[in-house]
Each structure stands twice: as structure tokens, then as C-alpha cells.
Structure 1
Amino acid sequence: MGWLLLLAAGCSEIVFAVSLKFNDGFTKLWPSVVTGISGIGSFYLLMLAIRTLPLGTAYAVWTGMGAVGVAVIGVVWFKEPADWVRLASIMFIVVGIVGLKLTHAE
């Protein structure tokens, strides 16, 4: 259950970070509402996940998921650069996340 909560927290973190692009310094109502709700949700779900998962593992996976998700969205939706160094760096983060999951003793 902890890993499902962590997955949900990571997805919520991605929504939070992407919504920052649209809220224009919290001057736009609905993007600001999305930012607030997704940010609170992300932290809450992380808090629930660390009840059963090691803190270091959960936090690293949570931040990694957010970083990878936002980077991929940046490339796909916002046409940010997709050179080989950027893509390789994203893959290193993914490898780290998978490694943390694989080495977690249940």
C-alpha cells in the first residue's frame, strides 16, 4: 500500500509543479487552486507513504518521480530541449528510482 500511496504522491507532485507554470504568481484563480490542492495532496500522500516505507527511499522516489514527470512534460508539451544529455540525465533518475524500488525489502 505504501508504494501505491507514493505513486499517487509523485503524480500529485507532477501536477503541482506543472500548475506553477500556469498560476502566474498565484494571480490566476483556478491554476492557483490546482497548485494548492495538488501540493497539499502530494505532501499528505507522501506523509501516509512514509508510515510504511523508509523515509530516505520514499523521499528520493517522490522527488525523482516529480523531476522526471515534469522534465518529460516540459519536453512534450512545452517544447523544451530534448538533446541526448537531457534525456540521458532523465534516464539516470529513472534508473535510480527503479533501483530504490528493487532494493526495498518488503
Structure 2
Amino acid sequence: MGYVLLAGAIAAEVAATTAMKYSDGFSRLWPSVLTAVGYLVAFTLLAQTLKTVAVGTAYAIWAGLGTAAIAAIGVVFLGEGLTVTKFAGIALIIGGVVVLNMGGAH
């Protein structure tokens, strides 16, 4: 159940960060509200995750996959460029999360 909650926390964080892009420095109401609500949900779900998943593992997965997802959204939907270096960085983040889980996540 912890990893299901973690997936929800990641999705909420990614949605909040994407909404922040559209908030125009918190000058637009609805994207700003979505940002605040998204982060509230993300941290609530992350806190619940920590009841059953080790903090180091949960945070590494949350931060790593969230970062990779935001980078992908930037490339696919926001017109950001994808260089070989950026692609390699995303691959290393995902690889690091996989290695962390293989290395004894309980």
C-alpha cells in the first residue's frame, strides 16, 4: 500500500509543479490554487507512505521520478529541448532509483 500512496504523491507533486509553471509567478489564481492543493496532497500522501516505506527510499523515489516526469513534461508539452545530456541525466535519475530499490529497499 505504501508504494501506491507514493505513486499518488508523485502524481500530485508533478501536477502541482506543472500548475506552478502556468501560475505566472503566482499571479494567476487557478493555477496557483492547483499548485497549493497539489503540494498539500503530495506531502500528505508522502507522510502516509513513510508509515511503511523507509524515508530514504521513499524520498529518493519521490524526488527522482518526480524530477524525471517534470523533465519529460517540459520536453513533450512545454517545448523544452531534449539534448543528449538532458536525456542522460534523466536516465541516470531513473537508474539510481532502480539501483536504490534493488539494494535493499524494504
TM-score class, shorter: over 0.9
Q: How many Å separate the matches in 1 of 2:79 and 2:53? A: 36
CA, structure 1 residues 11+104, in 2 after alignment: closer, same or farther (shift >3 Å)? Answer: farther
Q: Does 1:103 align with 2:87?
A: no
Query: Within the alignment, does 1:58 sit opposite 2:53 as a pair?
Result: no
The amino acid of 1:31's aligned partner reads P
Q: d(CA) in 1 for partners of 2:99 and 2:41?
A: 26
| Aligned twin of 2:15 | 15
Query: What is the letter of the counterpart of residue 27 of structure 2?
Result: T
TM-score by length of 2: 0.93
- 1:91 lines up with 2:91 in the alignment: yes
Tell me, in whole angstroms, the C-alpha distance in 2 between the residues paired with 1:73 and 1:105.
28
Alignment identity in percent?
Answer: 39
- Name whichever of 93-102 and 75-84 sits farther off: 93-102
Matches within 5 A, 1:12-51: 12-51=12-51
CA RMSD of aligned residues (A): 1.2
- Alpha-carbon distance change, 28 to 99 in structure 1, aligned in 2, over 3 angstroms: same
C-alpha deviation, 1:104, in angstroms: 3.9
Gap runs ≥5 in structure 2: none
Counterpart secondary structure, 2:81: coil
